[in-house]
Amino acid sequence: MFTGLSAFPLTPITDDAIDEKAFAVLVQRLAAAGVDSIGALGSTGSYAYLTREERARAARMAVQHADGTPVIVGIGALRTRHVLEAAEDAQNAGAAGVLLAPMSYQRLTDDDAFGLYEDVSAHLSVPLVVYDNPGTTHFTFSDELYARVAALPRVASVKIPGVPADPAAAQTRVHHLRQLLPDTVTVGVSGDALAATGLNAGCDAWYSVLAGTFPEPALTLTRAARSGDASRARAESERLQPLWDLFARYGSLRVVAAAAAHLALTPPHNLPRPLSGLDTDGRAEVAAVLEQLGLSA
């Protein structure tokens, strides 16, 4: 389950509530496309903004509409107690696994973060993905902490924030991670622009923002890399460069939110306030890139 393509859909928010119809459609698209897993309530799924009740409901809906595709549910929260509640709700919803980022308001020490994973893993009955996303959590894992956390029960995968852009350096990095982590723990790349480099360097999985809205090109890239066709994976990533450029400029969430709206998969405004999404010019840029890449229908 923690290999191949994991697709992270938006949780569309319309009029300050989850747009359940739109969310169901997004999840169904992913299952129909044949992604290897669905990452519901990831950062792209705005987990950090939702109430316990909203998260529990979205987890149940994701499992219900995933048509048997394994669903990994994000359980992060600032407080351990709320993480444990989200874990319980995710398990009750039928999640095949959970994903946990060390969210922070006050800076976390390494011991604080380790304690969080220790407390949560002790209460879990499904596998856990360690979610390293310093851009949103403002917490940076050391390699030593990766190793400590990965040795905890239930830990099945580490979602790393990227790999070096240079293929040889990426290979060295992934090799180094393999030495640190138990054999049972997979390494998944995120940061979509680096996915081909990461998969070609030996990452087992791609935890993908793009795939949550556009599963097909992400599957093309992943299948090529996983079957050893590194150059085809690289070519698909290069073809998608205009999207990666938009991700870098505006953040991947705002870009896929505008893209989903452009495809009429959601209403125009689909993010939780205060996130206002892209302005008119930004939305026009997204629409133009989708057109150019043949992704606008």
Q: Which residues are annotated as a binding site for pyruvate?
A: 44
Kindly state the smallest distance separating residue 214's Cβ from a copy of itself, in Å: 20
Instruction: Give the rounded distance of the alpha carbon of 117 from its chain centre.
Output: 18
Q: Based on CB atoms, which residue is closest to a copy of itself, 81 or 176?
A: 81
Kindly state the smallest distance separating residue 78's Cβ from a copy of itself, in Å: 5
Which residues make Cβ contacts (< 8 Å) with residue 179, sequence separation at least 6? none
Examine the residue annotation and report whether 131 is marked as an active-site residue of this protein.
yes
Examine the residue annotation and report whether 146 is marked as an active-site residue of this protein.
no
Kindly state the smallest distance separating residue 124's Cβ from a copy of itself, in Å: 16
Q: Based on CB atoms, which residue is closest to a copy of itself, 120 or 219?
A: 120
Rounded CA-CA distance 15/53 in Å is 17
Q: Yes or no: say if 94 and 126 are a contact pair by the CB < 8 Å rule.
A: no
Instruction: Give the rounded distance of the alpha carbon of 105 from its chain centre.
Output: 21
| Local structure of 114: helix, strand or coil | helix
Question: Of the listed 47, 117, 159, 250, which one is catalytic?
Answer: 159
Kindly state the smallest distance separating residue 224's Cβ from a copy of itself, in Å: 31
Q: Based on CB atoms, which residue is closest to a copy of itself, 49 or 171?
A: 49
Which residues make Cβ contacts (< 8 Å) with residue 284, sequence separation at least 6? none
Question: Of the listed 131, 146, 207, 250, which one is catalytic?
Answer: 131
Tell me which residue has tokens 């993905």.
Answer: 129
Kindly state the smallest distance separating residue 232's Cβ from a copy of itself, in Å: 33
Q: Yes or no: say if 154 and 128 are a contact pair by the CB < 8 Å rule.
A: yes
CB under 8 A, 24+ apart: contacts of 181-184: 181/146, 181/147, 181/150, 182/150, 182/151, 182/155, 184/156
Q: Based on CB atoms, which residue is closest to a copy of itself, 135 or 153?
A: 135
Q: Based on CB atoms, which residue is closest to a copy of itself, 36 or 54?
A: 54
Residues paired with 97 in a beta bridge? 72
Contacts with a copy of itself by CB under 8 A lie at: 16, 43, 48-50, 78-81, 102-103, 105-109, 111-113, 115-116, 119, 135-136, 138, 251, 253, 272-276, 279
Q: How far is CA 76 from CA 111, 153, 197, 258, in A?
A: 17, 18, 28, 25
Both tokens of residue 53?
């009740």
Known catalytic residues are 131, 159
